[in-house]
Structure 1
């Protein structure tokens, strides 16, 4: 019995986290997520329930009333003064007061030590060895919330131990039985072909609340019907404007959200070393019990099976879809009508005005994980894109390859393609654990399937130039590339670097203030082709700018009178702006 009580699962409470990872600061507007009880979520009995046992009829709570929700998992008897090293968390400590008779002045310190050991409560018999408890001890117990119970004179310790441990074992058996029943119901749902939506619906019936399954980053994958009012709970402190649940504020266990006291429980969805997301239960108002967390743990295992199955099926389908789209974009499909029909069978519509997007993954941006984890990251990256694109165009094609992701979707109406794509990219989860940085390129609008290979090359070129210009995270439209489109066609970046060095000379490199200032002056002079206008833009005196102009011509040559040199300088400055050379 003692061994069983000592081996409890490590299920810590939901702990509030502030901006720096510590406790939230209400003064800074950080809403706390408060625990619903102290101590671990074991299958124990609260002190308040222990006091209602028949063996404790006539017992009096003399201090520590704020700790009545502490959990009792085991009992101990105090027979020696140095009991502290022998105590364990969540114990009900029983004593006749004999070991305390010689040290009444130290009882306040003893309370602090027992609280530090996470004791559940102390039960003391008075009259034989101790006539009264010192006020300092009672004040200390009230201060830390450690219940101190005066036991009836005629009760035997073995009666208390037997009854309380029986209640603990009954509670544990009830938790396991309820968890097993819920597991059978969830397995039946999966065997009947149900997915994540069916799991959340079943959970909401079993646990009487709103159940959600999210990605590791907090994007909602499935959700049971929420209540009509007061949804979502927690407000902006728990939900992003785009509907992402801030799972980083929640940890495994049960707790309470915000001042309205909405009970919540969270459990991770794990399959081996892979983190597939979270299962969240937001109860309808009734307090959550220990067994609710264990039901969620069973549901998490079931959800992991469903997600793993879906990933396996998706991998096969994606391989087939990816091969066909690759042939289509490479120009290997000659019959456009056949391509339209075949894409329709795959759920894609290419018989309309289209654009092609290419999201190129950043190579070597982070240490390479194991092949298994890397494959999972690519799958999650593609899934995030499918979700974002699907909200705008359900008939779009989204296929992920080893170093890029390709989207063939309908041309947006009512807004430029670049603006529409930037909105989609903004909705992608920003969790660096699930994807590496990427750059996105957008093609021109094409009106027939035969032009898709050309659009694909345009999108790739836009992504490459955008990365060179702005680094990872750029979103570039092919039509907005201008001269950079021509520069990107040079296969060897060394040629561009040499041209820039030969043209700009001492201004080609260097980040010191004088060099940067001269490059800026040269750029504005070339843009305006007017000394007076350049002086006005740069807030210089006209004579000061004439001095700078003379210095630039000494460095670079007579570009004010030589149109060919002016063109070379303008190209060299554009190359200088391109990154990755």
Structure 2
């Protein structure tokens, strides 16, 4: 069996070995085993390895005794090159079967390769056979060249790691300088591209791209990848973070932007012409730390600015912003243009935060993210349109063409909603939105705001979650929504429709549909039968059954009006 019990400590000449139990991942990568194979060839050594195994990275060397002890304890030997001389192998009894176990244990432990020296005859043949069987790279270096070879390997590893650390330090200085100089996230992405080549992007936690840099060719290539949905949202919920193995996704890498316990987004790099290495990811992680500083700084500044913006917009929506000329001037000082035709859009998440199981901090964070999504979507298309997030809603004043018809207004607003909604992934919450009629002066803001509020509230009752509703589409529902007590409406429905107000019998839903279409067709029996695909006599039978339950609605116009209102209320949700 393999001896691991009384091995001496690691010789002083070895670099600290990575991969022991409890050890962190190495800070930087090592040199390629292919380079080490070249050094071995220079030292008149023989390399026995498959070509693909020479692409592994080596960041440290270790003696055989230490490697066996670590492997026996369950530690990984990844990126470690194991050194063994004739004496070390003799301690394993020199038995071919035992030497085969040594090689198998090293290969199972993930060792980059085994270097032997001073070995010949049966022991060497046994090692060669075992290495060929397992695929573990085996390097045989003459005894009189092993010292030089080992020194060259250690020197190459140290030089490589020193160069990588210097690169990381240079990147740290350059990235931090961007933040100190007041640079933007786009500037930070430009610097990342300078170090990594390709393209770089910063996204929110749900995948909205808020900063990018790189050549147009690289950006177009990145956006064509399957990691983006049709709206241009990065599928953050499906993208792994950190280094990636070689494969079809190895030309991109993502790291989280974290400050304290809050996740602020994702920094992602793309290279169309090469795979990103572990060292590239380390640099990306440094950049993400600096991005977190930039984001938190911007949020602190934005919080102060938002306070004044929110106060003004709240006053304008309440009619307390002074004369129209004063309101226009104040809005202009805040970077907004409200002296033009516009509509008020109110967006609310469909989740009832008052009854949510989430804690208050999470609810506040989600509402802030919802507001930022709207701010970003509007800013890209019309940077001078006011957008503010309040405790329960987001209000946006969207510019529209003069004399715009309702259909044109809804196409414009619908595009903003589509961008904010994305495909619903990345933790995005469902929301509904209401749209007012166009106004041409800030004096009309209070009334337009009331219209948008009614539209979002009643629209959700009419169409369910995710509704986008214009106030002109509410009809009679708008008046019904003015009744504050839902109990009065429910009582009216039950008194008017009687048992048809319930679903106690499977036929009641069908009878309500028949009644609704009869009223909509102004009691045209033939047209109703055609719409319902009923025989004329079948519909006559149903009408008789309805009149027996509800009364003579075919001849009583007032009763028909009552039943029509009751049916409308019955269709409203949340009553």
Give the one of 503, 526, 532 matched to 1:532.
Answer: 526
**1:130 is the counterpart of 2:123:** yes
Root mean square deviation of aligned Cα = 3.3
Identify the residue that residue 511 of structure 2 maps to in structure 1: 518
**1:578 is the counterpart of 2:572:** yes
Residue 111 to residue 485, structure 1, CA distance change in 2 (3 Å):
farther
User: Partner of 1:224: helix, strand, or coil?
Assistant: strand
**1:45 is the counterpart of 2:39:** no
**1:236, 1:291 → 2: CA distance?**
23
Identify the residue that residue 7 of structure 2 maps to in structure 1: none
Identify the residue that residue 410 of structure 1 maps to in structure 2: 399
Identify the residue that residue 545 of structure 2 maps to in structure 1: 551
**1:223 is the counterpart of 2:224:** no
**1:135, 1:515 → 2: CA distance?**
84
Q: Is the 8 A contact 1:254 1:265 kept in 2?
A: yes
Shift of 1:112: 6.3
Identify the residue that residue 446 of structure 2 maps to in structure 1: 453
Residue 313 to residue 370, structure 1, CA distance change in 2 (3 Å):
farther
What do the CA deviations read for 1:257-311 (whole angstroms, capped 9, x no partner)?
Answer: 986x883232221111211222222236255443322222221111111111111
Q: Which has the higher helix share?
A: 2
Q: Is the 8 A contact 1:368 1:374 kept in 2?
A: no
**1:2, 1:369 → 2: CA distance?**
49
User: Partner of 1:132: helix, strand, or coil?
Assistant: helix
Give the one of 177, 186, 194 matched to 2:175.
Answer: 186
Residue 312 to residue 353, structure 1, CA distance change in 2 (3 Å):
same
Q: Counterparts of 1:315-326 in structure 2 under 5 Å?
A: 315-326=303-314
Identify the residue that residue 159 of structure 2 maps to in structure 1: 170
Identify the residue that residue 73 of structure 1 maps to in structure 2: 59
Q: Counterparts of 1:210-249 in structure 2 under 5 Å?
A: 210-228=199-217, 231-233=220-222, 235-249=224-238
Shift of 1:243: 2.6
Q: Is the 8 A contact 2:68 2:105 kept in 1?
A: no
Q: Counterparts of 1:482-497 in structure 2 under 5 Å?
A: 482-497=475-490
Count of residue pairs brought into register by the alignment: 547
Q: Is the 8 A contact 1:331 1:453 kept in 2?
A: yes
Q: Counterparts of 1:262-341 in structure 2 under 5 Å?
A: 263-283=251-271, 285-341=273-329
Shift of 1:56: 7.4
What do the CA deviations read for 1:351-371 (whole angstroms, capped 9, x no partner)?
Answer: 221210111233536845444
Residue 229 to residue 291, structure 1, CA distance change in 2 (3 Å):
closer
What do the CA deviations read for 1:134-187 (whole angstroms, capped 9, x no partner)?
Answer: 89745643xxxx432141242687766555444334333322221111111111
**1:217, 1:257 → 2: CA distance?**
26
**1:197, 1:541 → 2: CA distance?**
68
Shift of 1:324: 1.0
Q: Is the 8 A contact 1:233 1:257 kept in 2?
A: no
Identify the residue that residue 564 of structure 1 maps to in structure 2: 558
Residue 231 to residue 155, structure 1, CA distance change in 2 (3 Å):
farther
Q: Is the 8 A contact 1:124 1:148 kept in 2?
A: no
**2:23, 2:65 → 1: CA distance?**
30
Q: Counterparts of 1:142-181 in structure 2 under 5 Å?
A: 146-154=135-143, 163-181=152-170
**1:421, 1:136 → 2: CA distance?**
71
Residue 509 to residue 3, structure 1, CA distance change in 2 (3 Å):
farther
Identify the residue that residue 23 of structure 1 maps to in structure 2: none
Larger Rg over CA atoms: 2
Of 552-561 and 394-403, the range deviating more from structure 2: 552-561
Identify the residue that residue 60 of structure 1 maps to in structure 2: 46
Q: What TM-score, normalized by structure 1, do the two folds share?
A: 0.84
Residue 433 to residue 62, structure 1, CA distance change in 2 (3 Å):
closer
Unaligned runs of 5+ in 2: 1-13
Identify the residue that residue 25 of structure 1 maps to in structure 2: none
**1:175, 1:502 → 2: CA distance?**
80
Q: What TM-score, normalized by structure 2, do the two folds share?
A: 0.85
Of 308-317 and 222-231, the range deviating more from structure 2: 222-231
Identify the residue that residue 9 of structure 2 maps to in structure 1: none
What do the CA deviations read for 1:403-427 (whole angstroms, capped 9, x no partner)?
Answer: 0111112124585212221221110
Q: Is the 8 A contact 2:19 2:77 kept in 1?
A: no
